[in-house]
């Protein structure tokens, strides 16, 4: 039996693919993404896209933790320790609306684009293991409007402040 050049090339190519995959040279195209809930220390509630909406600009709020895709977030690293937070329900990113610099500016979901108003970094707060999430564009903390304990309270950004004993810790979050 004669082996032509095309068959030899195909065999070598197959061996190369097997060798690369066994060495971990490339991640599989269907690699699983790890999603976690983001729980607020003050209220005990989870960061949630209202109504499980997939619409651009949908409000982000706190809501009783229920494990739905509207409450599942993944960190997508950017640079210098910053990351985007992508929600499972839509694939959109946690975004400070209109790149506002104002206190109490609402946080919504928008298509991920890498802009600084979609980038966050964890920094220590007054509670060990419950860091602040700081927006890159403004230097402000992800928190809950008026430190509310209620379901559906709007997520906003606010200037970081004292977070020691006796404060409410509405800007302290934990990935779980």
Q: What Cα–Cα distance (Å) separates residue 51 from each residue in 37, 96, 170?
A: 16, 19, 22
Which one has a higher pLDDT value, 29 or 67?
67
- Higher pLDDT residue, 169 or 103? 103
The pLDDT value given to residue 15: 37
pLDDT score of 29 more than 60: no
Instruction: Give the single-character DSSP code of 106.
Output: B
Average pLDDT along the chain = 86
Q: What is the pLDDT of residue 161?
A: 78
Three-class DSSP labels, 37-105: CEEECCCCCEEEEHHHCCCCCCEEEEECCCCCHHHCEEEEECCCCCEEEEECCCCCEEEEHHHCCCCCC
Domains and CATH numbers, the chain: 38-175 (2.80.10.50)
Sign of CA dihedral 11, 16, 22, 24: negative
pLDDT at 77: 97
* Tens digit of each residue's pLDDT (9 = 90 or more) over 108-151: 999 999 999 999 999 999 889 999 999 999 999 999 999 999 99
Tell me the pLDDT band of 7, cut-offs 50, 70 and 90. very low
């Amino acid at each position: 039996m004669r082996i032509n050049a095309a068959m030899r090339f195909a065999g070598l190519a197959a061996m190369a693919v097997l060798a690369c995959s066994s060495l971990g040279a490339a991640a599989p195209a269907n690699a699983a993404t790890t999603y976690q809930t983001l729980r607020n220390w003050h209220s005990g509630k989870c960061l949630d896209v209202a109504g499980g909406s997939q619409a651009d600009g949908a409000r982000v709020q706190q809501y009783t933790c229920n494990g739905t895709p509207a409450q599942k977030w993944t960190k997508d690293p950017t640079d210098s320790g910053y990351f985007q937070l992508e929600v499972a329900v839509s694939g959109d990113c946690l975004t400070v609306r209109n790149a506002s610099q104002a206190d109490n500016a609402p946080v919504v979901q928008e298509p991920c684009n890498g802009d600084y108003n979609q980038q966050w970094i964890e920094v220590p707060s007054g509670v060990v293991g419950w860091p602040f999430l700081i927006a890159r564009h403004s230097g402000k903390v992800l928190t809950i409007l008026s430190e509310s304990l209620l379901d559906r309270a709007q997520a906003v950004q606010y200037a970081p402040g004292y977070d020691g004993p006796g404060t409410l810790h509405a800007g302290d979050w934990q990935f779980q």
